[in-house]
Amino acid sequence: MNEAMKNVLQQVFKHPADLRLASRSGQFTLPTAGHAAGFIQANLMIVPKDQAFDFLLFCQRNPKPCPLVEVLAPGQLEPACAPGANLATDLPGYRVYRDGVLVEERSDISALWQTDFVTFLIGCSFSFESAVIEEGVPLRHVALGCNVAMYRTNLACVPSGPFQGNMVVSMRPVKSRDVAKVVEVSSRFALAHGAPLHVGNPQELGIHDLSKPDYGDFVPVMPDEVPVFWACGVTPQSIAQSSRLSFCITHAPGKMFVTDRRG
């Protein structure tokens, strides 16, 4: 079955465990936005134990891009936020970085797993999207079934050990009349990056062409809309690249781990 057919046949998963099982069996390989409304979705970052303190401290120092949902003990694969889940198989896609270079995208990382791997689950802005939509504010990338647009910025993260680099943001076009409402709703979701970092003027963030996102899919901004930017959990992937981290595994952009925890 090709990607287009999968898209046509795609169902919306209501229950996190159903989406995880479909990911585990390889049947679901798409971005998770719009699925399992009301449940916390998480970005994934796996580093060897000898880098785990520095990365945990990086998250503590940069809570907007890296709000921690859960950090697992070394070698552990079943998180408390989703009993029965397996973090090596239950995401729709993974990325493997070596020396800061993306070397592989795969749907299962069981074969790479080491007992000294420490897994970080980092909050994701998808979690507040269903709340925003429920308030009557449409989100175009969800309506179109595509991935949210993400951009590298010129905003430096607070460094920790070898982890240093700039923040990545996600962008959603919002009608001017809805901007305040979107700020209000998202600010209640601290684990989902909270309130926006920035409203309007992408050039101030060092983003010169909105039509060319660094990750995800371009979503046009209409004349009555303003681009609204949130800190993004893809930041650790960008940091892995700029820090030339010797090894890490992350989720593939937009393809999150869906927890059983309500946001």
Quick check: 84 binds a copy of itself (CB under 8 A)? Answer: no
Quick check: 38 binds a copy of itself (CB under 8 A)? Answer: no
Quick check: 71 binds a copy of itself (CB under 8 A)? Answer: yes
String marking each residue 156-175 x if it binds a copy of itself according to CB under 8 A: ----xx--------------
Instruction: Round the CA-based radius of gyration of the chain to a whole number and report it.
Output: 17
Tokens representing residue 129 in the block:
């999207």
Asked if 160 and 55 touch (Cβ cutoff 8 Å), the reply is yes
Write the CB contacts of 240 (distance below 8 Å, at least 6 apart in sequence).
97, 100, 248, 250
Q: How far is the CB of 244 from a copy of itself (least distance, A)?
A: 19
Q: How far is the CB of 59 from a copy of itself (least distance, A)?
A: 8
Choice between 47 and 207, CB closer to a copy of itself: 47
Asked if 251 and 93 touch (Cβ cutoff 8 Å), the reply is yes
Quick check: 77 binds a copy of itself (CB under 8 A)? Answer: no
What is the rounded CA–CA span in Å between residue 118 and residue 53? 10
Quick check: 42 binds a copy of itself (CB under 8 A)? Answer: no
Choice between 116 and 209, CB closer to a copy of itself: 116
Q: For residue 249, give the amino acid letter.
A: I
Quick check: 52 binds a copy of itself (CB under 8 A)? Answer: yes
Q: How far is the CB of 162 from a copy of itself (least distance, A)?
A: 11
Choice between 52 and 149, CB closer to a copy of itself: 52
Q: Are β-strands 166-175 and 149-156 bridged in parallel, bridged antiparallel, or unpaired? A: antiparallel
Choice between 37 and 71, CB closer to a copy of itself: 71
Q: Which residues make beta-bridge pairs with 118?
A: 47
Stretch that binds a copy of itself, among 60-68, 127-135, 215-223, 236-244 (CB under 8 A): 60-68
String marking each residue 95-124 x if it binds a copy of itself according to CB under 8 A: -----------------------x------
Stretch that binds a copy of itself, among 17-25, 30-38, 57-65, 95-103 (CB under 8 A): 57-65
Quick check: 46 binds a copy of itself (CB under 8 A)? Answer: no
Interface residue with a copy of itself, options 17, 21, 57, 133 (CB under 8 A): 57
Quick check: 53 binds a copy of itself (CB under 8 A)? Answer: yes
Q: Which chain residues interact with a copy of itself by CB under 8 A?
A: 49, 52-53, 56-57, 60-61, 68, 71, 73, 118, 160-161
